[in-house]
Amino acid sequence: MQILKFSGWKIFFLSSIILLMVNACKDPDPVNDLEPFQKDLYISNRDASVNFSDYKTYFLLDTLQKIGKDTMSIKKNYLTEHLIIQAIDSNLLNYGFVKVNKDQHPDVAVVASVLRFKESVPLSYSPTLFGPGVFGYASSSEFGFPGYQFSAPDNFGFYSFDIGSLTIDMLDLKNAPSAGKLNVIWNGIIAGSANDSLVANPQRVLTGINVLFEQSPYLKDGK
């Protein structure tokens, strides 16, 4: 009977090869093996009763709003903030909207906000939904629309937000009453792209903004 002999380094080498082969055959984890940008979630919502071809002009708030029970802990990143506002502006212009000042009676107002909390909330959860002072969140007067509470359609649904999400709300000014509620007619959410420094990776959130508008061709064609 022939006895096979292996030195220690050969056994170690063969074991390493086998281990590599086993690891190579393992299926990727559907969550943990994702790249950071692949974990982002893009959600767009609309008021189905609205024909967006009726809306031509917009006013864009030029600062990001900070939403949370401790907004002071959300640090500003002014370069990223500028890039985000610029990306929203560019998409609206590409969709045929005309930018005007607030005192020029725009058809819609657009507000972008960073969310910092974790709980199940309406998909269009934003300072616009709660009016002045509710739960300690910002009031509508901070956006230049004092005396209003904002609301969204029931069909916007719910989602559990984590720390680090961006929301974009489009508010109906064209049909605004003299007082009462301003309706959110479109909303986009990028969940997972922001962190304590406001945005973990600017390109992630900029990509997300573009995806939200790509998901919403009705903003351009009205259908």
Q: Examine residue 52 and state whether it is found in any structural domain, yes or no.
A: yes
Number of other CB atoms surrounding residue 11 within 10 Å: 10
Residue 173 lies in a domain: yes
In sequence order, what are the residues at sequence separation of 6 or more whose Cβ sits closer than 8 angstroms to the Cβ of residue 6?
A: 14
Listed ranges 50-54, 63-67, 141-145, 174-178; the one with the highest mean pLDDT: 50-54
Is residue 10 over pLDDT 50? no
The answer to whether position 24 is within a domain reads: no
Within a domain: 8: no
The model's pLDDT over 37-46, given as tens digits with 9 standing for 90+, comes to 455 688 888 9
| 193 confidence band (pLDDT: 50, 70, 90) | low
Per-residue pLDDT tens for 79-88? 688 889 999 9
**pTM for the complete prediction?**
0.67
- Contact assessment for residue 186 and residue 207, using Cβ atoms and an 8 Å cutoff: no
> Is there a domain that residue 183 lies in?
yes
Q: Is residue 6 part of a domain?
A: no
Length of the chain: 223
Residue 21 is assigned to a structural domain of this protein: no
- The CATH number covering residue 191 comes to 3.30.160.670
* Domain tally, the chain: 1
Q: How far apart are CA 198 and CA 31, in angstroms?
A: 24
C-alpha dist (Å) from residue 95 to 5, 52, 145: 74, 11, 25
Between these two residues, 18 and 218, which has the higher pLDDT value?
A: 218
pLDDT recorded at residue 166: 83
- Check if the beta carbon of residue 107 is closer than 8 Å to that of residue 57: yes
Residue 1 within a domain: no
Instruction: State the residue range of the domain holding 134.
Output: 35-221
